[in-house]
Amino acid sequence: MQTIGRLGGERGRSGGAGASGGSRGAVRPAGGSKRPGASGSAGNPFKTSRQPLRDPDFYDENYTDERDTTEVPGGDRLQKVLAQAGVASRRACEEMIGDGRVSVDGQTVRRFGARVDPAKQIIRVDGKRIPTSSETVYYALNKPIGVVSTMDDPDGRPCLNDYVQDLAPRLFHVGRLDTETEGLLLLTNDGELAHRLTHPSYGVQKKYWAKVPGPVARDLHKVLRKGVELEDGLAKVDEFRVVQEHGQQALVEVILHEGRKHIVRRLMETVGHRVIDLARIEFGPVKLGRLKPGTIRTLTVQEIGDLYAAVGL
């Protein structure tokens, strides 16, 4: 790495006798090779070999710039993309950029006028990915009882397409809920995210509330966490608790990350508590909240970022 002192020394030596074409040749070796001390880009693609002169009173001798390689000529301004994604107002987004809170393809960008391609580049704020492509959509549906978790039903039963047909083409439902189960169902056209959210290796938890016959044994949570043998193998919960008991019925909370067919119903029936009613109230970081049955809403930027983080995107 060239320092200001070394550069100054070379200039001093070349500024003596014969500071003409010959002396320049002494500083710039023949054959187009790099200058001594210049660092190449092999070690770090963001570092350049030519660094500008700097006042040593203000810069450490080993200081180098990280050159911005994220610029897309003719692209959209970064603060505009963030504002359109719902992160904050454009002015607030400019402050985020200036504070170094925004990265594009892994590189921190501090320039207000930076231009990016929101459809191809990955943009993060405070380390969380932001959904910037106008083509990807993310929804939460409170699936009612009696609705089939498919986009089409040959028997003519109510299905998911009845609720999303006017929203976007080619939506994926993230996992399934059986016909008699209500609650939170995610829908998106982001295929990679949908795949990861449903794959058990990513361990995304789902939370259910189930109404079962009571009373519930106090040590049932130990049995379920240790595992129960079903016809298709051992199944166990991540967490289990009794929310409330009233007379001969109880409301229990079941949290697990696997998605085998009718897994909650089969688990509870095996331990002697046949499920009367079942609802999914959370999928990873997304909560059902007060969303009424049969209604749908767009996920927030925070929720989408949390989903990306949950599966390592």
For residue 271, count CB atoms less than 10 angstroms from its CB and return exposed for 0-12, middle for 13-18, buried for 19 or more: middle
Q: What is the pLDDT of residue 53?
A: 61
Instruction: State residue 65's pLDDT score.
Output: 53
- 65 is annotated as an active-site residue: no
Span(s) in the chain for CATH 3.10.290.10: 76-129
Residue with the two structure tokens 């016809």? 231
Residue 60 has a pLDDT of 67
CATH 3.10.290.10 at 76-129, yes or no: yes
DSSP state of 212: E
State the burial class of residue 133 (Cβ atoms within 10 Å of its Cβ: 0-12, 13-18, 19+).
middle
Decide if 121 contacts 81 (C-beta within 8 A). no
How far apart CA 177 and CA 279 sit, in angstroms, is 9
Tell me the fold of 205-283: Pseudouridine synthase (3.30.2350)
DSSP-assigned letter for residue 201: G
Stretch(es) of the chain classified as CATH 3.30.70.580: 138-200+286-310
- Residue 205 class from Cβ within 10 Å (0-12 exposed, 13-18 middle, 19+ buried)? middle
| Closest among 99, 102, 78 to 90, alpha carbons compared | 78
Task: State the catalytic residue, choosing from 76, 153, 178, 238.
Answer: 178
Give the fold, CATH level 3, of 138-200+286-310: Alpha-Beta Plaits (3.30.70)
| Closest by Cα among 171, 191, 82 to 129 | 82
Residue pair 291/140 in contact by the 8 Å Cβ criterion: yes
List, by residue range, all CATH 3.30.2350.10 domains of the chain. Answer: 205-283
- Return the closest-CA partner of residue 195 out of 172, 211, 226: 172
276-303 burial: b if 16+ Cβ within 10 Å, else e: eebbbbbbbbbebeeeeeeebeebebeb
pTM reported for the whole predicted model: 0.72
In tens digits, the chain (313 residues) has pLDDT values of 444 444 444 444 444 444 444 444 444 444 444 444 444 444 554 444 454 566 666 666 665 555 566 788 888 889 899 998 888 888 999 899 888 899 998 888 888 788 898 888 899 999 888 888 878 889 999 999 999 998 888 888 999 888 888 887 788 889 889 999 999 999 998 888 999 998 888 989 999 999 999 899 989 999 999 999 999 899 999 999 999 998 899 999 999 988 788 999 999 999 999 999 999 999 999 999 999 999 999 999 989 999 999 998 8
Angle at the Cα of 134 from the Cα atoms of 130 and 135, rounded to 5 degrees: 110
Number of H helices, E strands in the chain: 9, 17
